[in-house]
Amino acid sequence: MIISQHTRISELIRANDASIEAIAGLAKPLRKLRNPILRRLMAPRVTIAEAAAMAGCSVVDFRQVLEPLGFAFVEDSTDGNTSPAALLQASQLSEWLTAADDNHKDYFDVRKLIDSGDDPLKAILQRYGALPPGHLLCIINSFVPYPLIHLLEKKGAECTVDTKSSDLHYTWFFKGVLGRETERKPATSPVVMHDADSFVRIINLYPESRLQRLDVRHLPMPQPMQAVLETLPTLGSDEALYVRHKRVPLHLLDALEGQPYAIHIHEVGEGDVQLLVVRTG
């Protein structure tokens, strides 16, 4: 397969799934590709140049691990020794972003909210909802919010990511003009809210030998979601994951939509939410 720095990671995986491990071995931020759920969110949206910038490595590094798998790189006008950030700037951003008027852009830096332990999702959704058609919302963060991208794309938003450095990402959302933006009906999500008694009954269906426990209440964002997603692939077909969380994890529920899991939730009180995630397939 002939590829360039603009080839998306999903295209590499479709051509040769050995590329997953080859890329994951390049840098720690790329190890998330080993997780099938995170891979489904990340791979279709990220090019080689963008992945290199996010991971702090170079396109040359990608070339070295991909060429032995049968991929052939096509050179473009960019020097192979160019820094990852410059490579990303050289790649073509979405036309709607480059053509947008500055007074149609709304910037929202969520890093302080996350550092303080708050979940900015509600504020982001309110800000996007208030955005006039034809305007853009830029989420400034230290990581690429793939579940948020997935969520707003279902609402009809267009998205592109401008990575400034390995820990600074501008995620842009374009709200289409009236008549073009349509709410996509989500698939039925197997999420069940319980009171205390019914949640106990569900938990009691799983003896300790078939129950994995995970407490993520002490973890800063986005580590709670990452911890759950890293644990789920280890579940056996007759096992369940019991999670203690500080809040109902909307990002996690969106990431698991369409996946073979049922999610049972009991809100015990402020800062204490219990989840039971059960493999259904």
62-76 tens-digit pLDDT = 999 999 999 999 876
- Among all chains, which residue has been given the structure tokens 């853009």? 136
The sign of the dihedral angle between the CA atoms of 244, 248, 250, 256 is positive
Summarised one tens digit per residue, pLDDT across range 163-211 is: 888 788 899 999 986 544 444 444 445 788 899 999 999 999 999 999 9
Summarised one tens digit per residue, pLDDT across range 116-169 is: 877 788 889 889 989 999 899 999 998 888 778 878 888 889 888 888 887 888
Q: Report whether pLDDT(24) > 90.
A: yes
Class of domain 191-279 (CATH, top level): alpha beta
**Residue 44 has what DSSP assignment?**
G
**Distance between alpha carbon 120 and the CA centroid of its chain, in Å?**
15
Per-residue pLDDT at 185:
43
Summarised one tens digit per residue, pLDDT across range 203-232 is: 999 999 999 999 999 998 778 888 998 899
Cα–Cα distance for residue pair 214/170, rounded to 1 Å: 31
Task: Find the radius of gyration of the CA atoms of the chain.
Answer: 20
Q: Where are the domains of the chain?
A: 2-90, 95-174, 191-279
2-90 shares its CATH topology with 95-174 = no
Class of domain 95-174 (CATH, top level): alpha beta
Q: Over the chain, what is the mean pLDDT?
A: 84
Fold that domain 2-90 belongs to in CATH: SP0561-like (1.10.3910)
Cα–Cα distance for residue pair 176/259, rounded to 1 Å: 29
Q: Report whether pLDDT(280) > 70.
A: yes
Q: Mean pLDDT across the stretch 252-274?
A: 87
**163, 141 Cβ separation under 8 angstroms:** no
